[in-house]
Amino acid sequence: MSAHVLAVLNDPDSGLGRYEAWLTQAGLEVTLQPGSGGLPPNLSGYAGLVMLGGGLMPDDDAKAPWLPDERRLAEAALSQEVPVLGICLGGQLLAMVAGGRVRANHGPIERGATQIHLTEAAEDDDLFGQAPRRFYAIENHRDAITALPPEAVHLAYSRQCPNQAFRLGSAAWGLQFHPEASAENVARWDPAKVRADGFDPDDLLEFARSVEPDSARTCQQIAAAFAGAVRHYAGLPASTSA
């Protein structure tokens, strides 16, 4: 089995961003599959699953008819212990299929570079164990996970959002923040929509650029750690240099 990862694209304006290059550099073969184009019936041939963001709820099947298939893939990954990385919508979907709760338009809107705080449980986590206890990552959400699944390990929070990261089992992670996004993603946001959410687009971009070097370093560490989990599942050395 190769270290082949399926990445589900839930929104054409979303994507793998810098994670496409970082995961490839870490020794993974990545297939980016738009959900609207149809998803495979199972994870045969894949050693990892990445579920990306999008302006949807995890059960918004009328707007996104591929979501039932994506939920089935997430459930299969959990049952087979295939490494999973769910980002924003993907993290919310992972929480939902495992028994957590997600609410639309709940809590403060988070946009731009936001400080993420790790919990004590993150110190022993394979994804976050080498990360600093506080770091910045891009946020862009108005929906939120209001209750983690019963078996989840809580890994991170922000000042305004209590559930920024969690783990299920040994190798399935849900994130609310966007490690794949950089300050240049912020630069492409519609200024009118940013202002409508109560933020100044110039301030968001300036701050995101100011913390970008440290943020990128940590987010690349997270990518490398996920790649290590995928390679381990595939029976390969954890590092391409090993």
List active site positions.
88, 178, 180
> 125-159: buried (b, 16+ CB within 10 Å) or exposed (e) per residue?
bbbbeebeeebbbbbbbebbbeebbeebbbbbbbe
223 and 181 in contact (C-beta within 8 Å)?
Answer: no
Q: How many helices (H) and strands (E) does the chain have?
A: 6, 11
Question: Is 178 in contact with 137 (CB distance < 8 Å)?
Answer: yes
Count other C-beta atoms under 10 Å from residue 46's C-beta: 24
Distance of CA 12 to the CA centre of its chain: 16
Six-digit token string for 109? 């809107």
Angle at 29 between CA 23 and CA 30, to 5 degrees: 70
